[in-house]
Structure 1
Amino acid sequence: MDIKRTFLIVALAIVSYTMVLQWNKDYDQSDMPVPATQSTAATLPSDTPTLSGSAADVPTAPGETPASEVPKSISSNGQPIHVRTDVLDVNIDPRGGDIVQLGLIQYPRRQDRPETPFTLFDNGNERLYLAQSGLTGANGPDARQTGRPVYQSVQQNYTLSDGQDRLVVDLTFSENGINYIKRFTFHRGLKLECSDIEKAQKKISCINPDAYQVQVSYLIDNQSDQNWNGIFYAQLKRDASGDPSATTATGVSTYLGAAVGTPEEPYRKVSMKDIDKQNLQETVQGGWVAWLQHYFVTAWVPNNNETHQLQTRKDSQGNYLVGFTGPQISVAPGTKAETSATLYAGPKLQEHLKDLSPGLELTVDYGFLWFIAQPIFWLLQHIHSILGNWGWSIIVLTIIIKAIFFPLSAASYRSMARMRAVSPRLQALKEQYGDDRQKMSQAMMELYRKEKINPLGGCLPILVQMPVFLALYWVLLESVEMRQSPWMFWITDLAAKDPFFILPIIMGATMLVQQMLNPTPPDPMQAKMMKLMPIIFTFFFLWFPAGLVLYWIVNNCLSIAQQWYINRRIDAAAKTA
């Protein structure tokens, strides 16, 4: 009995501690050191675009309208070009044509303010986070001594109209007989055939696969009398500020940092600490680069049939860059060429990420138990497609998992029930032998042998189920589908803590009932520790996501019913014996 109880207490403590420790280990988000100036040459540009450029900064090329004669437009006042679809709210800086702000309309920053989109890219006071792209090389306009090109646009504001499937935004620039078009292609996010209820539930079937993809293309028209040579680059640029989407429910931080994917290694994290130590330069065919944060990911995905150089580095301002440079582009006089890449900026939707590029779906990081977490998420997603509510889906999933482990749980509870039945005899042995632990242990082993009780019989089934519990914890914490998803009544966000702490208190009460069904440890110290466990776990779960607490409540209730039934049968058998 002493061995079993000690083993269970230690196991529970390890599981509780591992939940926090492993997440801190896998997803460390420590403060970044003060940036130091680096002199290392790099091929990825590092200038920070601003919104204060003017056409007067750009020299006039032959055949180009002088800046003083250009009507008031984007290029003359430096204001951002605004693009809005049904899922994205975007600002493009005319200087360089970088995306400097991007809001996710379907993912509000706060649940009580649905009209305010969550800001992914930002060039404001809170953080620097940009999606940059351009043309460098011998004749690239982004390699000019006078600074990056200032593009013109026929409109200041673009909006995806009702019934329109895609929106094309062209930015133009001409210099030295070369005409450039930087083209952004946006797509409709939500399928028109879905109902408002289905859209509100964020059903994956209602989201177009290319909803959060922006195709960025360069069309180069060489009207000069010389060859044009350049290189296409794209990068994500971010400072060391914290993750605005990180959960604080459990006091842990999810991974904030870069990642790259290659044919040989589909998914590899490159943390800010890794970039501090050394730059990454790797030549691959295809591949992708990304920046990860809780629930959301941004990624550049180049042409899969071309060879690119994936790179990471830190600039002199302390900003982190992850990007790629493409192959050499040569355009003969009188000819045209086109190059492009896809920018993904949105939620971590595994199905869409997997279709975009192999390995990109692994940015939904479930930790070292991913092989258990993935089937759990697959099952949870299919249940949700039927029920349409993530809270009820968690309950049904818990019942299914409990049913799968029913034989193991039954073995554990039978062992506990038998221990409970012989508890008075164990107490008598303790009184008989007093402090003589050796004789006490011999008598206990003899009693266990006679009653056919394995003192560790109830531990193994519990240990087997622990990986499932941990995997489900990561599924509920990492899946963006849970973000701001309501269950019922006061639970309006399953990914956040219970605002009134009702679920943690109910969970503690179910633990107390479970404890009453278990045999009382003969050791007084162990008995006191077991009585404190419901209080400790209740306090521990106060800040856990409501979805995870809901899982524990349902699991505990099912365990209580199963254990009560087994206890009753064994007690009845003991009376008739």
Structure 2
Amino acid sequence: MDDQNKNLILATALSFIVILVWFVLFPPPEPDVPLDGALTEQVTGATGTTIPAAPDASAPAPLNPQTQASDTTLQDAPRVAIETTRLTGSISLVGGRIDDLKLKDYQTTLESDATIVTMLSPQGTNDAYYALQGWAAGAGIDPSAVPGPETEWSLSAGDTLRVGSPITLTWDNGAGQVFSRSIAVDDNYMFSLTQSVSNDGNGAISVAPYGMIVQHTLPDDLENFFILHEGAVAMADEELAETDWDEIAEAELDPKWGRQAIVKEGVNSGWIGFTDHFWQAILIPLAGQTFDQALTYDARTDIYRAVTRMPTQTIEAGASYELTTQLFAGAKEWAMLREYESTGVPKFIDSIDWGWFFFLTKPIFWLLHELNKLIGNMGWAIIGLTLIIKAILFPLAYKSYVSMAKMKELQPQMEKLKEEAGDDRQKMQQGMMELYKREKVNPAAGCLPILLQIPIFFSLYKVIFVTIELRHANFFGPFQDLSAPDPTSLMNFFGLLPFEGPEPGSIMALVFIGILPLLLGISMWLQQKLNPAPTDPTQQMIFAWMPWVFMFMLGGFASGLVVYWIANNTITFTQQYLIMRSQGYKPDVFGNIKGGFSKKSKPDADG
């Protein structure tokens, strides 16, 4: 077997080894242990009122660190319903918090009776996650005279929050100031919140409006997978920051914020919030609003917060002030985020975790999205994407396979050089270089297309894993979720019986392999058989086992990615076979298969 074919096979093996090494070097992290017994101490009163006011109106008003109300108060609180075509839930009048939100378009599983996805949940429930808006007290006003987490608002307009039907909440502090909050929602997942305060008191007051998203303890559904970012995501003046949960918990204590905090001050354009695999809650100040953004962690209560705080406003007697911000709480749908970006939310599409190869991931997803719209089936869209990628790489592939065919023609001369050089390796290498130069053959040409496919492979893996458009996307038959591993196995007779297969990632899943991993192994094996087996027994054994080893290794990947790899192998096999035949070399596929089953390697008839 010539060196060119060895290089090709070794490069193919290398591309898979890179994937496995990545898994070894970046395993899922262990769950964090709460700091300082954080779960044992719960603050239930409005203790933040003890913080002194800012010394002057120009200084930022301190944020009330207390964002909790008592569970009893919240359970008994009146609520205002939320009802749109895509959302259902309610708003608590205690704190005016948006803390009960479900997504009608998404179910937790593929089962027909599965519950819809819960986006936000109230304090006092498991995995509490909610949004708060409020005011921090500055000069001229007592902290108890601004609405806090236990403040019960009055519903003054509207009865149910619907698209085109906002609600208005009001609160009179009895000291001359009336606070108001108007909440509207669009036909997707964007809330508009307009906060105002009118000062009918005797003197000027200073207040600072803020918004925050609160997460009690780490989320229950944390996946801890290296390819996926979970935690905080923020855009500050076109600079994206992705912060893991443990980075927030390990931040330094910030006296201004009264807890551990990661702070970005004086942001002119951006947003901040929390994100997971498919869903996110994001605070979005409107364009032109300068604000501070912060990620905070309270070790006493094990609570994480994403916060936006506006500059302190001085409101003279008889005057009023109004501010509008936005809250996104829903699914990370690419087309929708792009639409919000076009209407003023800066770089909102980057709230999706595109990864290191974003310059490839974004166009690959765009193309996949458009193909899916055209075809109407994500599985066939992936195959169509594979055809396009192979067409783009075809010029390189053509040069590669032409070079391989020429190397086959040179094999008799190479064997003659080996006989003449004997054990003199330097003479052998010099002779081969002269032969390559004379015949205009590049022995490394076969590796380039494979090396180019590695970042494409990772980018497609990222697209299939992180984008919600692949979640529960069907192909055909038993393949109803291309973001999940192949559900078929011998246990359910490859999907023909109405039984579930083994749990993905389990030992049984490795033993009872599915249809797609089997096809992947076969396609790799056939591609390998375009060339005769190496004469060295050790190499022959390694290459013989390689397709089946990777069949089991990659069997637990998302089935959409396995579909891509099967299509890629099939197209590559066809291209290589036809191009090599056009150059005068006829690969003996069936002869190589037959030779692979023999006990001893047979000489290549074409060699």
Normalising by the smaller structure, the TM-score range is 0.7 to 0.9
**1:319-338 matches, cutoff 5 A:** 319-338=303-322
C-alpha distance in structure 2 between counterparts of 1:22 and 1:182, whole Å:
49
Q: Which amino acid aligns with 1:99?
A: I
Question: For residues 101 and 419 of structure 1, what CA distance do their matches in structure 2 show?
Answer: 67
Q: In 1, distance between residues paired with 2:195 and 2:551?
A: 57
Would you say 1:340 and 2:324 are equivalent positions?
Answer: yes
AA partner of residue 100 (structure 2):
Q
Deviations 1:491-510 (A, max 9, x none): 11111111012112111111
1:101 partner SS: strand
Is the 2:208–2:309 contact (alpha carbons within 8 Å) kept by the matching residues of 1?
Answer: yes
Q: State whether structure 2 residue 279 is matched by structure 1 residue 296.
A: yes
Task: Tell me the residue number matched to 2:155.
Answer: 153
CA deviation string 1:233-289 (max 9, x = no partner): 11122245246374x9xx6551111122222x4311222333213322222223211
Structure 2 unmatched runs, 5+: 39-47, 52-61, 253-260, 489-513, 588-604
User: Is the contact made by 2:80 and 2:93 (CA closer than 8 Å) also made in structure 1?
Assistant: yes
3-state DSSP of counterpart to 1:465: helix
Distance in 1, matches of 2:24 and 2:136, equals: 40
In the TM superposition, residue 342 of structure 1 has moved relative to its aligned partner by 0.3
CA distance change for structure 1 residues 146 and 304 in 2, over 3 Å: closer, same or farther? closer
- 1:504 correspondence with 2:497: no
Partner of 1:255: 229
2:457 matched residue in structure 1: 469
Q: Which residue pairs with 1:486 in the alignment? A: 474
* Corresponding residue of 1:520: 533
1:234 to 195, 201, 211: 211
Q: Is the 8 A contact 1:129 1:238 kept in 2?
A: yes
Residue identity opposite 2:104 in structure 1? I
CA deviations 1:93-130 (Å, max 9, x no partner) are 32211222322211222121466221222346541322
1:232 shift after superposition: 0.8
Structure 1 CA distance for aligned equivalents of residues 16 and 111 of structure 2: 32
SS of equivalent residue, structure 1 residue 180:
strand
Q: Are 2:534 and 1:547 equivalent residues in the alignment?
A: no
Aligned equivalents of 1:302 and 1:18: distance in 2? 42
Quick one: structure 1 residues 235 and 493, their matched pair in 2 at CA, closer, same or farther if it must change by over 3 Å?
same
- Please say if residues 134 and 147 of structure 2, whose CA atoms lie closer than 8 Å, have aligned partners that are also in contact: no
Match of 1:78 in 2: 77
Give the structure 1 partner of residue 178 of structure 2: 179
Counterpart of 1:384 (choices 367, 372, 387) is: 372
CA distance in 2, matches of 1:213, 1:402: 40
Alpha-carbon shift at residue 21 of structure 1 (Å): 5.9
Code of the residue aligned with 1:277 in structure 2: it is A
Query: What is the CA–CA distance in structure 2 between the aligned matches of 1:427 and 1:524, rounded to whole Å?
Result: 19
- Paired residue type of 1:148: E
Give the match for residue 57 of structure 2.
none
- The answer to whether the 8 A contact 2:228-2:353 is kept is no
* SS class of match (2:356): helix
Per-residue deviation at 1:301?
A: 0.7
Write the letter of the residue equivalent to 1:280. I
Change (3 A) 1:92 1:460: same
Contact 1:173/1:179 (CA < 8 Å) preserved in 2?
Answer: yes
**3-state DSSP class of the match of 2:391?**
helix
- Distance in 1 between residues matched to 2:20 and 2:282, nearest whole Å: 28
Distance in 2, matches of 1:12 and 1:387, equals: 31
Q: Which runs of 5+ in 1 are unaligned?
A: 55-73, 189-210
- Aligned partner of 1:273: which letter? D
SS in 2 for 1:305: coil
Q: Which residue of 2 aligns with 1:52?
A: 72
1:13-49 per-position Cα deviation (integer Å, ceiling 9, x unaligned): 55335446658989965422432389x9973634334
Displacement of 1:442 in angstroms is 6.8
Out of 198, 219, 225, the position equivalent to 2:196 is: 219
Deviation at 1:406, TM superposition (A): 0.9
* Structure 2 CA distance for partners of 1:142 and 1:498, relative to 1, 3 Å: farther
What does residue 368 of structure 1 align with?
A: 356
Change (3 A) 1:223 1:145: closer
Cα shift at 1:79 = 4.6
The amino acid that maps onto 1:325 is R
Whole-Å Cα distance in 1 between the matches of residues 189 and 215 of structure 2? 20
Return closer, same or farther for 1:431/1:506 CA change in 2, 3 Å cut-off.
Answer: farther
- Cα separation, partners in 2 of 1:298 and 1:9, compared to 1, 3 Å: farther
Aligned with residue 270 of structure 1, among 232, 240, 243 = 243
Q: Does the residue aligned with 1:36 lie in a helix, a strand or coil? A: helix
Give the SS at the match of 1:542.
Answer: helix
1:298-313 equivalences in 2 (<5 Å): 298-313=281-296
Cα deviation digits, residues 481-534 of structure 1 (max 9, x gap) = 111111222111111111012112111111111011124233332222221221
Please tell me the root mean square deviation across aligned C-alpha atoms, in Å: 3.7
Deviation, 1:325, is 0.7
Q: In the aligned structure 1, how far is the partner of 2:412 from the partner of 2:534?
A: 11
TM-score normalized by structure 1? 0.80
Q: Is the 8 A contact 1:135 1:143 kept in 2?
A: no
Question: C-alpha separation between the residues in 2 aligned to 1:370 and 1:439?
Answer: 47
Aligned letter for 1:149?
A: T
- Given the superposition, is the C-alpha separation of residues 560 and 308 from structure 1 closer, same or farther in structure 2, using an over 3 Å criterion? same
SS in 2 for 1:352: helix
The one-letter code matched in structure 1 to 2:82 is V
Q: 1:134, CA displacement in angstroms?
A: 1.0
Q: Quick one: distance in 2 between partners of 1:136 and 1:520?
A: 74
Matched residue SS, 1:277: coil
Q: In structure 1, what is the equivalent of residue 302 of structure 2?
A: 318
Q: How does 1:4-153 map to 2 (within 5 A)?
A: 4=4, 7-8=7-8, 11-19=11-19, 30-36=30-36, 43=63, 45-53=65-73, 77-113=76-112, 116-123=115-122, 125-138=125-138, 139=141, 148-153=150-155
Alpha-carbon deviation of 1:148?
A: 3.1
Report deviation, 1:561.
1.2
| Identity across the alignment (%) | 29
For 1:319 and 1:528, how far apart are their aligned partners in 2?
Answer: 55
Aligned length: 526
Q: Secondary structure of 1:52's partner?
A: helix
Question: Which secondary structure state, in structure 1, belongs to the residue aligned with residue 452 of structure 2?
Answer: helix
SS at match of 2:165: strand
